[in-house]
Structure 1
Amino acid sequence: MDFSQEEESSNKSLTKFESMLKTNNVLFFDSNEFENIIHHYLNQGKVALAKKAIKLGLEQHPTSTNLKLFRVEIFVFENDLPKANALLNELYVLEPSNDEIYIQKANILSKEDKHQEAIDVLKRALSLAEEISDIYSLIGMEYLFLDQFDLARDNFMKCLEANPEDYASLYNIVYCFDFLDKNEEAVEYLNIYLDKNPYCEVAWHQLGRQYYELKDFEKALSAYDFAIISDDTFIGAYIEKGKVLEKLKRYNEAIENYSITLSLEDPTSFALLRIASCHEKLGNNDLAVQYYYKTVHEDPLLDKGWIAITKYYSKQRNYQKALYYINKAINIDSENILYWKYYAKINHRLNFLEESELGYKRILELGNYELETWLIRGDILSQLGEQEAALSNFIQAAEFYPENAEIEFRLAGLYFQLLEIEKATYHLRNGLRFDAEQIIILEELFPEVFESLLVKKIISR
C-alpha cells in the first residue's frame, strides 16, 4: 500500500469512528485502526476523544500492548503517575523486550525530575529498538535538563546521523554549541553536515547565524544566500540576511530582503520595524514614519515599535509628537517601565515638571530603583517647591544607595533650606567624607546654601 492509500484508509477509519460516536452504534475496528485514530487525536490535542478511542479499543482488543501504552501516555499527560507506573509494570512482565515500555518509563522518571535515571532507562531501550533516532533525541533532552550540554549535543548528533532530516535535533545541536560558546566548532560541524546535505536550508541558516556571531559578515551573507537558493520561501533567511546587511550599512539591500518577507506571508512587526529603521538611516524620513506607523498598527503590544517612533520624533526635536505616541503606548500597557522613562524624559524636556515627576514616581512604583531616577525625581520636586517630598524621596534613595555623596549633598541642601541645621550639617559632612568632589552638586543646585558662611566653614575644615 502506498502513502496515499494509507492516508485514505486512515481517513476512512476516522470518519467511521466519529460516525459511530454520533449514532452510539458499536462498530468493529482492528487494533491498528484504533492506534491510528488515537494517534490522530493526540496530535490534534483532542485528549477526550483519544481517551474514548482507547477505552473502546481495549474493549475490543483487551490484550493489545500498544493500546495499553496509549493509556499510559494519557495517565502521564494527566500527571497520574502511580497508575501509569502500575500499568507499565504489568506490561513489562508480559513484554520485557518492548522498547516503548522503557520509553514511557523514562518519560515518567523525567516528570519526576529523575533525569539521570530516565537516561539509564532510555539507554536500555536503545538496545531493543529498531528505530533509534527518537531515543537519542530523548536522551539529549534529558541531558539538557541536567545542563550537561556536551553530552546533550553528542546524543542529538547521533540522532541526526540516524535521521539526517531531523531538523529539531539540528537546532538542538547548534543550541548546545551556542550555550558552550563554541561558535567555531559549530561552523566546522555545520560545514561537514552540509557536505553531505548541500541543499539543507536549515543548516545554511544556522551556519549564517554562527558566522554572524563570529562577526564574519561576508560569510554569513553567503550562507544565507545558499539557504535562500535551497528554499526561496525561507523567511528566516531573508530576515537574518537583512540584519547582516544592516551591520554592513547596506540599508537598501536590507530593505529589499525585509520586503520579500512581507510578500511571502502576513507582515511581521519585526520586518516593518527594521524597514523603518533602514529608511531613517538613509534619511528617507517620510518612508521611515510610514513604516513606524505600520509597525505599531500591526502589533500594538510591541514596545520596540512605540519606543522607535517616540525616539524618531525626539531626534527630530518634535517632542509634542513624541509625547503623543508614548502616551498611546502607556494607554496600551501602563506597566511598561520603558514607556514611563520616555514619558518622564520628554515631559522634562518640555519643562512639564509635574508630569515628568509623575513619570519618575511611576517608574519607582513599578520597581525600577536606578539612582538616576531617584536623583532626577528629587531635583524636580525641589524645583516645584516640594521640599518635604524631595527629602522623603532622597531618604528612600539612601536606603538603596548608602554612602552616596550625590544623595547626601542634596539632603544637606534641602535641610539647610528648611533651617534644620543639625541634620543639614550631618549630611554635608557625610557627602564630604564619601566623595568631596561632588560638592559641585551643592554649588549648582543650592547656590545660596553653598555661599553661606556655615557651609564655607565646614568645607574648609
Structure 2
Amino acid sequence: MTNDYLANQWLQQGIEYFQIGRYGEAIASFEKAAQFHPNMPEIWFHWGNTCFHLGWFDAALTNYEKAITLKPDYSEAWFNQGNILFKLGRLEDALASYDQATQFNPDLAVAWGNRASTLYNLGQYEEALASCQQATHCQPDYVQAWYMQGLVLMNGGRKEEALTSFDQATSLNHDYLEAWKHKGWILFNLNRYTEALDSWQQAVSLQPNDYEVWFQQGNTCYRLERLDDALASYEKAITLQPDAPEAWNNRGLVLFHLTRYTEAVTSCEKATKLQPNYPEAWFHRGNALFSLGRLEDAIASYDQALQLKPDDYATWGNRGSALYSLGRYREAVSSCQNATYFNPDYAEAWYMQGLALMQGEQPNAAIACLDKATALKPDYAQAWLYRGHLLFQLGHLADAIASCQQATTLQPDYVEAWSIQGIALMQLQRPHEAIACLDRVVELYPEHPEAWKHRGTVLCQLERLEDAISSFDRAITLKPDYFQAWYNKGLLLMHLDRPDAAITTFDNALELQPKLYPAWVNRGNLLLQEGRWDAAIASYDQALAIQPNVAEAWANRGIALEKLGRYQDALDSYDQALVLQSDDAKTWNHHGVTLIQLGRYQDALISFSNALDHQPDDPETWNNRGLALDNLGRYEEAMVCFEQAIELNSDYAQAWNNRGVALRNLGREEEAILSFDQALELNPDYPEAWNNRGLALRHLGREEEANASFEQANMKN
C-alpha cells in the first residue's frame, strides 16, 4: 500500500541530506521513501545520484534503470546514466543514454555537451562538433561546450575556428585553466608566439604549480628569443617536476643559445639519465660539446642519438660537421650523404658535403653539392663563396666571379668573396674591375696583407706603378715575412729600372724563403745587367740547385760565363738551356757566338741555322752567321748574311762593318770603304770600323786618309 505523502517527505529529507553531504542518511531516507512508494521514479533517480556521488557505480546504474523503467522519458536519469557509463569507459552505451536524454529533452544542453565528449572520445569528430553546436545553441553561455567544441576543431586541424571556441570559453569563464592552455597550444602552433605567451601567463596566474604551463611558457619564450625568460620558465618547471627529461633537455637547448655550453652539456646529460632513449637530448648534448671543441665526445653523442633515431637528418648533418672539423673528410662526406638521403632539401648538409669533398680534392663533386645547396637556399652566401673558390681553383674564372658576386650581393661585407672576385678579374686582365673589388676588400679589412699584395699586382696592370709599390709596402708592413709581396715588389722595381733597390728587395724575399728560385733568377738577371758576372753566376747556381729545369737561368748563366771568357763553361750552360727549350732562338745565337770564340766555326753555323729556323728575322743572328762564314773563308756567303742583317736593320753598324771586312777579303776595297763609312755614319765612335777603313785606304795607297782613319780609331779607343 502506497503513501504518497510519506514517500515525498522521506524523498525531500533524502535530498536535503545529500545536499549537506550526509550521504548515508540520504540513502536511508530514499530507502524509506521507496518502502512507501516503490514506483516513484524520482526516488530511484536521487538514490542513484547519491550512489554516483559515492562512486557506487553499479548501484547507481541499477537505480537509474529503475527510474527509467518507471518513467521512460526521464531525460535527467538517461543523462546521469550516460555519465556513469562514460566514467566506466562504456562509451557506446553512454552515447545511447545521451541520445535518449536529448530525444526526450532536446533543450538539455548538458546532455548535448556530454554526448559531444563521448563522440570525441570515440573519434567521431564531425558528430561531436554538431553535438557541441547544439549544446551552445541551447545554452550560449555553456563554457564546457565551447571548450569541447575547441578540442574537436583542434583535433580536426581547424585551428583558427578552435581558437574562436576557446576564446568564447575564456570570455565566459576567465578562470578556465584548460581553455587557456589549449589557446596557448594553438597559438604556438600558428606561430603567434606573443599571443601564445599571453595565454600561458594567464594559465600561470591561475595555476602557478602546473608543470605543463611553465614548460610550454618556456617553449614559447624560446621561440620569441627571450632566452632568459625561457630559462627561468624551464627551471620553474623542473622545480615542480625534477624528473621531467623534456624540461632538462629544453633548458640545455636554451643554455646552448646563451653560449653557456658547459651548463648546456650538464642539463642535456640530466635528460639522458632520466630518459636514456631520448634522441633529441643526445643531439643537443652533442651540439654543446661541438661548441666546446670536444669533437670526439660530440660525435659519440650524435652516435647515441642515431642509434635511437637513425633517420634524423639534422644529427647526421651535425655529425658530418664535427668529422669535417677533425679533418676526417671521407667520414664527413658519408655522414652528410645520410643527412641528404633522409632530407634531400637539407641545404646545410649539401654545403658541408661540398666542403668535405673540396678538402678531399674532389672539386667537381664538391661543386655539384654546392650547386644543390644554392638551388635549395639561394641566399646561402657561404655556399656561393666556396662554389666560387672551387671554380677559381679549376680555372673557370668567369663562373667563379659570378658565384662570388652572388655571395657579395647577399652579404656586401663578405671579404673573402670580394677577394676571389678581384684575383679572378686580375687573371682575366680586367684590372679596372679587379681594383674595385680589391679596394672593397681593404676598405672592409685594412689588415688584409694578401689583398694589398694582389692590389699591387693589379695596379701594375693599370700602369699605376708608384701606387703599386705603396700597396706592396702596405702588405709587407702588415706581414713582414710575406716573401711573395717582397718578390712582387722586386719585379716592379726591376721593371722601373731600379736595379739596386730590386736586388735588395729580392734579397729580403730570399732571406724569408731561400727556395724561391724565380727570385734567384731575377736577381741574377739584374746582376748580369750590371756587369757583375761572378755574382750573377752565383745567383743562377742557387736557382738551378733548387730547380734545375729553368732554361732562362741556364741561358743567362751562359751569357755571364761568356763575358768572363769561360767559353766552354758557357757552351755547357747553353747546352743545358737548349735541352730544356730547344726553340729559343736567342740561346742558339749565343751558343753559336761561343762556338766562334772556341774556333768551332762549322758547329757555330749549325747553331745559327737553328736560331734562324725559329726566328728568321733576327739581324743579330744573320750578322753572327756571317762572322762564322767569314772565319771559314766563305766570304761571298758571309756577305749575303751581312746584307740580310742590314736589310732587317739598316741601322746595324756592326753588320755594315762586318760587310766591309768581307768585301776586303774579296779584294773589293772601294766597296768596303763605303760599307765602313755607313757603319761610321751610324756610330762615329766605332774604333774597329775606323781601323778597318784605314786598312782599306792603305791598301789602295791612300796613306794620308788611312792615317787619319787610324788616328780616329786610336782616339775612339
> Under TM normalisation by the shorter chain, which class is it?
0.5 to 0.7
Shift of 1:333: 4.9
8 Å CA contact 2:272–2:282 kept in 1: the answer is yes
2:405 matches 1:358: no
The equivalent residue for 1:337 is 381
After TM superposition, give the deviation of residue 11 of structure 1 in Å.
Answer: 11
Q: Residue 112 of structure 2 aligns to which amino acid in structure 1?
A: S
1:229-308 residue pairs with structure 2 within 5 A?
229-247=273-291, 251=295, 253-265=297-309, 267-280=311-324, 286-308=330-352
Structure 1 spans left out of the alignment, 5+ residues: 17-27, 89-98, 106-124, 454-461
Contact 1:221/1:241, CA 8 A, preserved across alignment = yes
Q: Deviations over 1:73-108 (max 9, x none)?
A: 8999479xxxx9xxx9xxxxxxxxxx9647359xxx
Separation (CA, whole Å) in 2 of partners of 1:320 and 1:392: 30
The correspondence of residues 50-449 of structure 1 with structure 2, limited to 5 A, is 53=130, 57=134, 61-66=137-142, 77=160, 101=168, 103-104=170-171, 126=174, 129=175, 131-132=176-177, 134-135=179-180, 145=194, 157-158=204-205, 161-166=208-213, 168-172=215-219, 175=222, 179=226, 181=228, 186=232, 193-209=237-253, 212=256, 213=258, 215=260, 217=262, 220-247=264-291, 251=295, 253-265=297-309, 267-280=311-324, 286-330=330-374, 332-333=376-377, 336-364=380-408, 368=412, 370-387=414-431, 390=434, 437=474
- Counterpart CA distance in 1 for 2:319 and 2:193 is 37
- The residue type paired with residue 234 of structure 1 is Y
**Does the CA contact (< 8 Å) of 1:38 and 1:50 recur in 2?**
yes
Output the aligned Cα RMSD: 6.0
- Residues 221 and 340 from structure 1, CA distance in 2 versus in 1: closer, same or farther, beyond 3 angstroms? closer
* Counterpart residue number, 2:91: 8
Q: Assess, with a 3 A threshold, how the Cα gap between structure 1 residues 33 and 391 changes in structure 2: closer, same or farther.
A: same
Give deviations 1:253-300, integer Å, cap 9, x for gaps.
544432343343451111112333444566665543322221222223
CA distance in 2, matches of 1:76, 1:297: 33
- CA separation in 2, counterparts of 1:133 and 1:166? 10
Instruction: Identify if the C-alpha distance between structure 1 residues 144 and 316 changes in structure 2 by more than 3 Å, giving closer, same or farther.
Output: closer
Deviations 1:168-223 (A, max 9, x none): 4352486499726479x83xx75665454232112222343466547462x54453
2: CA distance, partners of 1:445 / 1:306: 42
Give the conservation status (yes or no) of the 8 Å contact 1:408–1:428.
Answer: no
Asked whether the equivalents of residues 212 and 237 of structure 2 are also in contact (C-alpha less than 8 Å), the reply is no
Q: 1:342 to 1:52 in 2, by over 3 A?
A: same
**Stretch of structure 1 that moved more, 168-177 or 352-361:** 168-177
Deviation by residue 1:401-432 (Cα, 9 ceiling, x = unmatched): 79x9999999999798578xxxx79x969x99
**CA distance 1:384–1:235, shift in 2 (3 Å):** same
User: Which amino acid in the other structure matches residue 203 of structure 1?
Assistant: A
User: Deviation of residue 383 (structure 1)?
Assistant: 1.8
Q: By how many angstroms is 1:380 displaced?
A: 1.8
TM-score (structure 2 length as normaliser): 0.40
The alignment partner of 2:271 has SS state of helix
Residue correspondences, number:
382
Cα offset, 1:356, TM superposition: 1.4
Amino acid at match of 2:396: F
Deviation string, structure 1 residues 373-422 (Cα, Å, up to 9, x no partner): 34532442232123465578789x69xx79x9999999999798578xxx
C-alpha distance in 2 between matches for 1:314 and 1:194: 46
Q: Secondary structure at the residue paired with 2:211?
A: coil
Cα distance in 2 for residues equivalent to 1:445 and 1:10: 97
Aligned partners of 2:170 and 2:179 also within 8 Å? no
Q: Does 1:31 align with 2:78?
A: no
Instruction: Give the AA of the match of 1:8.
Output: L
Closer/same/farther in 2, CA of residues 103 and 367 from structure 1, 3 Å limit: same
Deviation per CA, 1:140-161, whole angstroms, max 9, x where unpaired? Answer: 99997399x9x99865644562
State how far apart, in whole Å, the 2-side matches of 1:228 and 1:2 are: 41
The Cα shift of 1:330 comes to 4.2
- 1:166 maps to a residue whose letter is V
User: What letter is aligned with 1:293?
Assistant: Q
Counterpart residue identity of residue 145, structure 1:
T
Normalized against structure 1, the TM-score is what? 0.58
Larger RCO: Structure 1 or Structure 2 (Cα < 8 Å, ≥ 6 residues apart)? 1
Q: Is contact 1:239-1:271 (8 Å) kept?
A: yes
Whole-Å separation in 1 of the counterparts to 2:238 and 2:148 = 41
CA shift at 1:320, angstroms?
A: 4.3
* Aligned-partner Cα distance in 1 for 2:86–2:300: 40
Q: Is the 8 A contact 2:279 2:305 kept in 1?
A: yes
Paired amino acid for 2:355: K
Q: Percent identity?
A: 14
Quote how far apart the aligned CAs of 1:316 are.
Answer: 3.6
Structure 1, 64-73 or 262-271: larger mean CA deviation = 64-73
Cα distance in 1 for residues equivalent to 2:259 and 2:414 = 33
SS state at 1:267 partner = coil
- CA offset at residue 165 of structure 1? 3.2
User: Would the alpha carbon gap of residues 152 and 175 (structure 1) be closer, same or farther in structure 2, given more than 3 Å must change?
Assistant: farther
Contact 2:459 2:467 in 1 (8 A): no
CA deviation vs aligned residue, 1:431-459 (integer Å, no higher than 9, x gap): 99x9x947999x95997699669xxxxxx
Mark the CA change 1:351 to 1:173 in structure 2 (over 3 Å): closer, same or farther.
closer
Point out where structure 2 has 5 or more consecutive residues left out of the alignment. 1-83, 100-107, 478-484, 498-717
Native 8 Å contact 2:419 2:438 kept in 1: yes
Change (3 A) 1:393 1:34: farther
- Give 1:341 deviation, angstroms: 0.9
